[in-house]
Every structure is written in C-alpha cells, then in structure tokens.
Structure 1
Amino acid sequence: MLKRVVVAVSAVVAVTLAGHQLVPALGGFTPVMESVLPWIGWLVPMLLVAAVIARSTAATVAALVPGVVWAAMFGSALVRSAPGGPSDLAVATVNVGVRNSASGEAVRVIADNLDLLAAQELTPGGPAAKELNKMFKYHYQVSTVGLWSRYPISQTKPLDVGLGWPRALRAVVSTPKGKVTVYVMHLASARPGMTASRDASLAHARRLVDADASARILLLGDLNTATTDRGMQGLTPPLTDAQTEAGDGFGFTWPSRFPITRPDHILFKGMTATRAGVAPATGSDHRAAVASLRL
C-alpha cells in the first residue's frame, strides 16, 4: 500500500512541477501555488524516506523522478554565481512597510552606496522619505511610491496601473553613461481566489513597457508576482530579471523573517546585470532586492 502511495504522489509532484503552467488558474489558486513552487521540492526527501520504509525499488525510483525535475528547473539557481565585473549603476527596491516606524533606519542601511533606490508603501512625509531626502540629491515621489537618485531625474510622470489611483511612476535618470528610463511600481495584491486585479495591473505594466521606445529600461518594485508565477511571463521577456541573471539562490524577499517567495523585482532592458541579491529592511515585512548593472 505504501509503495503505491509513494509512486502516485511522486507522479503528481513531478507533473505539478513540470506542467504547472498548463494547470488552469482555478480561481487564482494556481498562480499563488506557483509563488512557492520551489518549496515543493521538500516533498522529495519525504517521498524517499517513505520509499525506504516500503523497501521498494520501484517506489525509490519513482521518488527520484520529481527530484530530477526539480533539479532541472531550479538547480541552476543554487549553483549560479554572479558574473561580476565593473558596474555603472547600483540599484535597489524595497517595500518599506506602511506601518513600519523604523522605515527610516531600514532605507538608511539599504541605500548606502546605492545610485538609485525605489520604495513602496511610503507615507507622505514619513521617516523613510525624510531619510532618503537627506541621502540623495534627486527624488520623485507619487503617492506611496518613490524614486531616489544620485543623478538628475527628468521627464517625471505619475502612472495608474489599473488601480484607479497612481501607484507607479516613470522617470528618466541621466547617469554618466547615458539615460535610463525608470519605472517604479506597486502592483495589486494577489491572494488565493483574488488575482484578477493583480493580473490586470500586470497587463497594464506590460503595455507601458511595450509602448516605451527607450534603449534602457529599469523596472523596480513590489509586483506582487513571484519569479515562478505565470504572470511574470508578461514582463520577462521583454525585460530581464536581475536575480535570475546575476543572483545566487532564489532571492526570496517575503515575508522578511522567513522569506518563501519573491514579489520584489529588478527588471531591465538594454543593460547587463553583474550582481544581484537581497538585503534586510528593518521593521518591514519585505526584504530589499538589490542589483548592480553595467550600462
């Protein structure tokens, strides 16, 4: 009996991993499941233990199949190393947490040695904005999102990504190596059975990117969409994920105490990622995503 259970569960796990994008959205459940897809790999050692208990070679082989599938899908993230080399732009994005009384301290630590920092869940005149205004010469804030820069900012524009109010922005940053068009976004939340608004805001973000003829584009923000969520296919491509390109590990950012997924992203076009990673953000329920880029 145990042998049959191991074989059946192994088959389900392998098919779920390999074919998750073919599974219907099921009212928004599947995209949320995809947000924690790498964690399904923990079922493999459990299945192997069960196979040993069952003393079945067939069950053991069956349990190894989802392990091979997982390794093919995610193994590169564990062995990947940053390309390194010279970089021209150090950037980060962080959801500071709207109820975070220590947001000033959080951004102060993160922003050290950065050229650009994007923040979400800002409060007007709150500690995070005040601290960043002291650290950076240039900034542009729209409602609860903002961009701070060591280089001049121009052509600023508030954006509504389908939420009915501006929770995104577009700006052009003039770096020593040329101009970079920067988007900062905080897309709608996604929960089981409630992904329609998030999906609509993702589609809106894609339309903005498609309509932008800039040679260099940088999209920073809390997209409420994990790297493994099917929704990310709407943005990568045409943009490239800095963590996937130059980060080691999965780069999970949420929840901060024990991150299990990555809704915070640094996406780009017309540049090369040399490094990427994650930094703690004091008091926030998110960690920050950081990256270095070569123009």
Structure 2
Amino acid sequence: MATPSGWEARVGRERAGGGAAAAVRAVVPPWVRRRSGRRAHGQEAQGDAGRRSAWWRGRGRVLAVLAALTAGLLAFHRAVPNSAGRLGSLLEAFLPWLGLVAVVLFALALLRRSAVALVALLLPVAAWTYLFGGLLLPASAPGARQLVVVQHNVSDENADPAGTARALADAGPDLIALEELVPPALQVYEKTLAAAYPHHEVRGTVGLWSRHPLSDTRLLDIKPRGITEAWSRGLRTVVHTPHGRIAAYVAHLPSLRVRASGLASGRRDESALLLGEAIAAEELRTVILLGDLNGTVEDRGLAPLTSRMNVAERGFALSFPAAFPLARIDQVMARSAAVADIRTLPATGSDHLPVAARITLSAARR
C-alpha cells in the first residue's frame, strides 16, 4: 500500500479536527452557544464597568459629611455660639488649621476610592481659599509711602535682651513695639537701640522705639475690671513721619486660658473693647496698632479692633508659641492705611516670634 505524503497527512488531520468541531456543534444547540458567548462578553464588560463605577458607589458617605461639616465651620464660624465656653473664639483661634482636616479627608477619599467624598471636598477647599488664599500670594513690591514696623513680645524671662534688640534692629524697621518690658532688661533695650532709634517712649510694660520724633505720648487705660494690682499695658503716641503725623498705639491685652470648661477670654475681650473705643475716638486720621493682642484676627473677641482697622493682606506669620507656632497673636493693624504684608523674624530669647510688617500709607494729613 502506498504511504500518504506529508501534505496528504496534514489535510487528513485538519479534516479530522474539523470533523470533531462539527460534531461538537452538532451536539450543542445553537441557542446554548449564543448564550455562552454573550455571557462571556457580558462578564468582561461588567468587569470594566464595575471598575469604573467603584468610585461612584455609596462608599465615602461619612467622609463627604465630614467635608461638608468642615466647610460649614469655615464659612459660618461666626454662627458657632460663644456663650458656652467661648467655643466660637476657640474655633476661630485655630481656624486656618481646618485646612489640614481637608487634606486628611482627601487622603482618606483616595484610599476609599470615593468620588462622592472627593466632590464634597471641593466645599472646604473653596471656603478655605476664600478666607485665607490671599495670604499665600507673594508680597507686593515696596512703595514710596511705606513704613516698616516690628512687633515683639520680648518676654519678661528673656535671658538675652541685648541680642533680641540687635535682631530686631537688623530688620531695619522704622518703628519697634515691645511688650513685657521689665527692669533691668528695659535699660538694656534702651542702650542697645539708642543709636538707630533715638526716639522712644515707655509706659508700664510696653514701649515704642522710632527713627522719627514722637510727641503727645500718654498712657492708655485698657485695664479690665477685677485686676487690682498695678497694670499698665497700653500707650498712645504721635509719630512724625516724612509722610505726616501718625497715631501709634502699643498694647498688650490679657492672656487667654484654655480650661476644661472652654476658653477663658473675658478679660481679653473687655480690654479689646476699651482699646477699640480709644482708637475710635482718635482724632488723627491714620492710626497704627502694634501689640500682643492674645488673639487672631478671626477671633470675634477682637472685633472691636478688626471692625475698625485693616489687617494684613499677605502672610500668615504664625508667632506663638515660638517653638511650634500655631497662631498669630502678635498683630499689626492700621486705619486709613494698609498692612501690605506681614512675616515672622527669626526666634529670639522670647516665647513669641517677632513679626515685621509693611504699612502702606495713604495721603496723610499733616
């Protein structure tokens, strides 16, 4: 018998395979084959759709609620009552830090793969940007009608008053306001600053050093009721600048205490009210306030001041505590002038950081 060639053998195998497939098709009904194909295709499509829709499932609802709550606290912080434990002021003292809450929620939303939470996070981001975004913008260029001022609570426990004075003078300000001045450190500040700042006034524990002449200095009565000991923490003076006369106020408001019952700020608020009334009665058009006010500009306890004066347009300048600054309680404010920017200076021997600000003056009356 003749042996089939290689080509004939290959054709035979293909026919045999085709026959097997044909046999399978003959045994399995057509509607079963069509259903199996659709099922395989559908499972693949469902897998793709499932992966796409996983971000839009119900997960992350708690994160979305927390995001909305954070946005509400930022946008409506004034609605938080201050009657019980001064909770409103306590929230406002650390209001910028709610931005970190949004950052944490963003990380959790990514971890949970929740598009709902990510969309909800647009609310606190928008609220924080509206309140504080401008402070992150670059400072404007120096202008012709500007004063540079420095504000610093030097601490009555400062072990290096001479070094502190030199550090403040190195910033080249026109005015230096100091609080917690006590002997014998006061004599050291006077001696160290005398050459560059020949004009200075001190009342109680606050003082002002100036490159320009000072006049009409008086003690400010901002002492809260209930304090019986000697307490002099405010002064008012007139600075004769090249741009006209400016009323300068230096103040150190009472400290706050955080207790189990909440924030104790009654004395601070009372002192702020007295200071606000004094500034409202000031006859000179342009006023500059420098001081340790023991409150942030968002704190409603300082409303008697912030409602009458301009605050910094650029810069956070967190000043307290010096080791890990959490809030700016050292303030520079102005009336009929703008606080163009504010920044912190390097640490000194105090538990506060110094802050330096540029004041842009309008056309001042002489």
Distance change >3 Å, CA 101–CA 2, structure 1 → 2: farther
The answer to whether the aligner puts 1:178 opposite 2:248 as a matched pair is: no
C-alpha distance after superposition, 1:61-87 (max 9, x if no partner)? 223321222122211211243253224
Distance change >3 Å, CA 75–CA 275, structure 1 → 2: closer
C-alpha distance after superposition, 1:192-241 (max 9, x if no partner)? 32011111011111100111111111111101110221223321232111
Q: Distance in 2 between matches of 1:11 and 1:294?
A: 38
* Alignment-mate amino acid for residue 294 of structure 2: N
Q: What does residue 330 of structure 2 align with?
A: 264
Selected match of 1:212 from 255, 279, 282 = 282
Indicate the SS of the match to 2:257. Answer: coil
Name stretches of at least 5 consecutive residues in structure 2 with no aligned partner. Answer: 1-57, 362-366
TM score, norm. by length of structure 2: 0.74
Give how far 1:49 is off.
2.0
Q: Distance in 2 between matches of 1:43 and 1:139?
A: 45
Compute the RMSD of aligned alpha carbons: 2.0
Question: Does the Cα contact within 8 Å between 1:11 and 1:62 map onto a contact in 2?
Answer: yes
Q: What does residue 11 of structure 1 align with?
A: 68
Q: What does residue 177 of structure 2 align with?
A: 118
For 1:1-295, list aligned pairs within 5 A: 3-25=60-82, 26-112=84-170, 113-126=172-185, 127-163=188-224, 164=227, 165-192=231-258, 193-241=263-311, 243-244=312-313, 247=314, 249-295=315-361
C-alpha distance after superposition, 1:219-268 (max 9, x if no partner)? 11101110221223321232111x22xx3x31211112322211111111
C-alpha distance after superposition, 1:169-195 (max 9, x if no partner)? 011122222211111000011233201
Q: Distance in 1 between matches of 2:117 and 2:341?
A: 41
Moved more, 144-153 or 229-238: 229-238
Question: Does the Cα contact within 8 Å between 1:187 and 1:201 map onto a contact in 2?
Answer: yes
Q: Distance in 2 between matches of 1:274 and 1:40?
A: 25
Q: Distance in 1 between matches of 2:131 and 2:146?
A: 31
Give how far 1:22 is off.
0.8
Q: What does residue 47 of structure 2 align with?
A: none
Q: What does residue 19 of structure 2 align with?
A: none
Q: Distance in 1 between matches of 2:353 and 2:223?
A: 26
Moved more, 121-130 or 272-281: 272-281
- If asked which structure has higher relative contact order (CA below 8 Å, sep 6+), I would say 1
Question: Does the Cα contact within 8 Å between 2:77 and 2:91 map onto a contact in 1?
Answer: no
Q: Distance in 2 between matches of 1:45 and 1:88?
A: 37
Indicate the SS of the match to 2:76. Answer: helix
Give how far 1:96 is off.
0.5
Q: Distance in 1 between matches of 2:235 and 2:349?
A: 25
* Alignment-mate amino acid for residue 170 of structure 1: R
State which structure, 1 or 2, has the greater radius of gyration over its C-alpha atoms.
2
Q: Distance in 1 between matches of 2:87 and 2:76?
A: 15
Give how far 1:20 is off.
0.7
Indicate the SS of the match to 2:297. Answer: coil
Q: Distance in 1 between matches of 2:111 and 2:341?
A: 44
Question: Does the Cα contact within 8 Å between 1:35 and 1:228 map onto a contact in 2?
Answer: yes
Indicate the SS of the match to 2:321. Answer: coil
Identity %: 36
Distance change >3 Å, CA 9–CA 273, structure 1 → 2: closer
Q: Distance in 2 between matches of 1:199 and 1:2?
A: 45
Question: Does the Cα contact within 8 Å between 1:256 and 1:280 map onto a contact in 2?
Answer: no
